[in-house]
Amino acid sequence: MQQIQQNFAVAGNPVSHSLSPLLFDDFAKQNGKNYFYSRILSTNVNNILEIVNAFDIKGLNITSPYKQDILQFVNIKSEEVNILNAANTIVFNENINAFNTDVSGVINSLKKYINTQKKAIVLGAGGAAKAAVQGLKILGIEDIFIANRTKEKAKQIADKFDINYLLFENIKNEYFSIIINTIPVLIGEIGELKVNDKAILFDANYKNKPLKTLATQNNAVYIDGLEWLKEQGKEAYFKMTGIKNNNLYLQNKDIEKIKKRSQRLAMIGPMASGKSKVGRNLAKILGFDFVDMDDIIVVEENRSITNIFEESGEDYFREKEKQLLKKLVKKNEIVISTGGGVIKDDENINVLKNNCWNIMLYSSAEVRSSRINTDKRPLLKGKDVKSTMEKLFSERKNNYFKTSDIIVNRNENTLEKDIKLIYEDYSKTFGI
């Protein structure tokens, strides 16, 4: 018996950079589960929750800037969430449950190295810094400092957790056996750090490694930010699924595959979600070519989509669609607007997932029915538009979800705002 598909996601802005889908997919494969994980790109928490409801998402990782905003919708908060006033993991069942697995990420990354270390410093004063301080306290570190460029934020955290604080300019006068860096800056910008023998140096951000050189120079233990990501990810997966995972095989080649796919953007989603308009404008900004699959088929067949359906049948159209998609994904620097039903075929899903960065545009049936020209939509001919749209989406939503790399809610923003949102997220991740 085939397992029921369960959907999970990470939400934020920006969000395309998140490696959480790779972690989650690896966990799911190890467990043989029919789980799928996507990214939600949004401008507010309400839009995120609309996507959660539309796709029946069971668990959600929350990243910047919504770790506090999400709490207004939560029924049950874990102890860590109450202490930090921020959540990074939400589980939806009969309640909406909030957790913060960053603390577990800190503890599990550090505990195998901790021995006689008694003096620690956390660099930065944001949410990650608070989680780091809480983790250190649970590990029993007796002397903890928080350091920041400005006094106000450092003192605020110091008072909350009953620890000491320093300004960056003063840390050169102190020795530390544990240094946790939560800011992506060069060491030269925060003073001359002094490191004790057998010290532990830990960069929280997996994209930046400013402590690595210092660790090498002082023969110190160095912990990459990927460890924090992996450890908090293991705990988040457990919270969402109830399954413990200790093995993780995230590899650089998996990250490289994403970079290669990003040269081909595919707009997916139901009819009238704006795939062609968003795709055409996005291609113009990026300097990519733009193609609309339906338009190409119309030209090749010299007849409308409606006529193709009426005269040759849907199966004929779907085969044309499949062969065209295989040709288009061989090109680079291209934005492809797909048809609403392209994801009905498993082969098409595999082609899209292996070759494209897939942007799912979501709009409710009510919003889409107000935009549509039914004369060009053979699946709507002679039917109630809204109810037919709802039925089609219900039948296809799981395929949209498992194909997608990011999902954008188009219920609220203008076309211009959504294009800007997608472009900025894409360019921050892929450096366009």
Pull the structure tokens for residue 84: 């930090």
The sign of the torsion formed by the CA atoms of 18, 22, 28, 33 equals positive
Tokens 């020209």 correspond to 373
Beta bridge partners of 44: none
> What is the radius of gyration, based on Cα positions, of the chain?
24
On whether the CB atoms of residues 182 and 130 are closer than 8 A, the answer is: no
How wide is the angle at C-alpha 277 spanned by C-alphas 359 and 352, nearest 5°?
30
Burial label for 344, CB within 10 Å (0-12, 13-18, 19+), is middle
Tokens 């061989």 correspond to 330
Taking CA atoms, 113 is separated from 177, 198, 223, 429, in Å, by 11, 10, 10, 33
**Rounded Cα gap, residues 202 and 231, in angstroms:** 14
First-to-last alpha carbon distance for the chain, in angstroms, is: 45
**Rounded Cα gap, residues 337 and 295, in angstroms:** 10
On whether the CB atoms of residues 415 and 285 are closer than 8 A, the answer is: no
Count other Cβ atoms within 10 Å, centred on residue 140: 8
Residue 375 one-letter amino acid: D
Q: In what order do the strands lie in the sheet with 175-181?
A: 164-167, 143-148, 119-123, 175-181, 194-203, 221-223
**Rounded Cα gap, residues 9 and 225, in angstroms:** 21
> Which of 366, 369, 389 lies closest to 379, judged by CA?
389
Catalytic residue among 29, 33, 58, 67: 67
Cβ density class 141-158: b for 16+ within 10 Å, e for less: beebbbbbbeeebbeebb
> Is 67 a residue of the active site?
yes
Burial label for 33, CB within 10 Å (0-12, 13-18, 19+), is middle
On whether the CB atoms of residues 65 and 425 are closer than 8 A, the answer is: no
Beta bridge partners of 119: 143
Q: In this structure, what is the dihedral angle of CA atoms 40, 41, 43, 44, given to the nearest 10 degrees?
A: 10
| Catalytic residue positions, numbered | 67
